[in-house]
Structure 1
Amino acid sequence: MKKNFLIILILLANISINAQTTKMNFGLKSGINMSKYTPDVYVGNSRIVEYQGKIGFYIGGYSNIKISKKFRIQPELLFSNQGTKRVFEDISLFDSNGILIGVSDIEETINESVISLPIILQYFINEKFNLESGIQLGYVINRKQETTKDSFGLNQGNNSQNNNTNYDKFDLGFNLGLGYKISEKLRINIRYFLGLIERDNSIKPSIFSLGIEYEI
């Protein structure tokens, strides 16, 4: 069902672009992002898992299609490094006799390599500023998980590479952002992405990004 939905969205976007194209430009773009999973995990009123932001980057290309004086469509193809920091709070360790040894948080960093296809509608307020929004399809090509803090010394430094089918690889979400024209060839933009479908039946990615675009 998810695959069919993604295919339909891509076809509709292509049809819209082909039907309305009047002028097309191409460019390159890159930037940094701050990503995390949502929501945190609670048992009753107690939070047992907290997701924190992780800094990453993205790089790729785009085509910009003018459909009127105020509106443009910008399909993009990006490679992104994103993910989250995950904190398991107040983990208790007991010895073989059931005696409490200590209580501590355990922290992990999850790194994802993602191929993304944003399809962005831009509205130009004036020659300098534009608003933008649209859908984004994603595919996780690799995910690594590393324990970065473990006061008990059980797992720290352990690094696992998950490239099998134990996690959801497809992603779908919504972008909202603002762009600014620095010069004839250069633009900067800031965006917020929110996942619309649950991955692994529990998480959605949330990403702030800041980047620069260069028209070639």
Structure 2
Amino acid sequence: MKKNFLIILILLANISINAQTTEIKFGLKSGINMSKYTPDVYVGNSRILDYQGKIGFYIGGYSNIKISEKFRIQPELLFSNQGTIAVFEDITLTDSNGTPIGNEEDIKYKINESVVSLPILLQYFVSEKFNLEGGIQLGYIINRKEEVLENPFNQFLGNNFQNNNMENDKFDLGFNIGLGYKILENMRINTKYFLGIIERDNVIKSSIFSLGIEYEI
């Protein structure tokens, strides 16, 4: 399946290169994001794992290829910090006989991911300043760390730990939708939503809102 997705990306890139363009521009972009995993985990009707949003950032560059008065293609190469806040809800310790010890508590930890991504966007310009966009995005997770934020059972689990488990899925793939607005001659603001379409580790998908600035060089 991953090979098929790569083939799609290569075909899109070839379309952008071979298009009859009248204009190719380059630029830099950066901004902030709010990322989380989805879906939450339930046992019956009880939620046991709640994924919450984590603030991160992204930075990178792009090329913008004009293919008509209304349409452009924008390949990008970005480095981003993303992940999620994970909350294990209503945890109860028991003794050897299964008798609960203490009250129900939550354990909260943060997952940080360092990701290199390749979005390829098709932009439609409603006007000179305002555009809509959408496309596909491939990501590669180069690093993953976990940090405990709240743990009432810290005698059993340290307050800080790192997990760089190489068995975690490294590839992510999904769709972007967004819009942009020109605020200065060489500067645009841009907001996007990314939703993963493959299940990483057979369980989770990525969900990311981003807001940033593009600067044409």
TM-score, normalised relative to structure 2: 0.95
**Aligned-residue offset at 1:152:** 1.6
Describe the superposition over 1:2-32 as per-residue Cα deviations: whole angstroms up to 9, x where unpaired.
Answer: 1x12320222012201221331100000000
Partner of 2:55: 55
Residue of structure 1 in register with 2:6 after alignment:
7
What is the alpha-carbon distance in structure 1 between the residues aligned to residue 25 and residue 150 of structure 2?
47
CA RMSD of aligned residues (A): 1.2
> What is the CA–CA distance in structure 2 between the aligned matches of 1:45 and 1:123, rounded to whole Å?
43
Give the 3-state SS of the residue equivalent to 2:128 in structure 1: coil
Residue 81 of structure 2 corresponds to which residue in structure 1? 81
Structure 2 residues not aligned, in runs of 5+: none
> Is the 8 Å Cα contact of residues 80 and 113 (structure 1) preserved in structure 2?
yes
2:149 match? 148
State the match for 2:118 in structure 1.
Answer: 117
1:64 aligns with 2:71: no
Counterparts of 1:1-216 in structure 2 under 5 Å? 1-2=1-2, 4-20=3-19, 21-96=21-96, 98-102=98-102, 103-153=104-154, 154-164=156-166, 166-216=167-217
Query: 2:149, 2:12 → 1: CA distance?
Result: 41
Percent of aligned positions with the same letter in both sequences? Answer: 70
User: How far apart are residue 159 of structure 1 and its match?
Assistant: 1.6
Is the CA contact (8 Å cut-off) linking 1:104 and 1:151 kept in structure 2? yes
Q: How many residues align?
A: 214
Deviation at 1:161, TM superposition (A): 3.2
Q: Which amino acid aligns with 1:128?
A: K
Kindly provide the amino acid, as one letter, of the partner of residue 199 in structure 2: E
TM-score by length of 1: 0.96
3-state SS of 1:9 partner: helix
Instruction: State the distance in 2 between where 1:177 and 1:187 align.
Output: 13
Distance between the aligned counterparts of 1:28 and 1:163, measured in 2? Answer: 32
Runs of 5+ consecutive residues of structure 1 not aligned to the other structure? none
Shift of 1:60: 0.2
Q: Structure 2 CA distance, aligned partners of 1:30 and 1:156?
A: 35
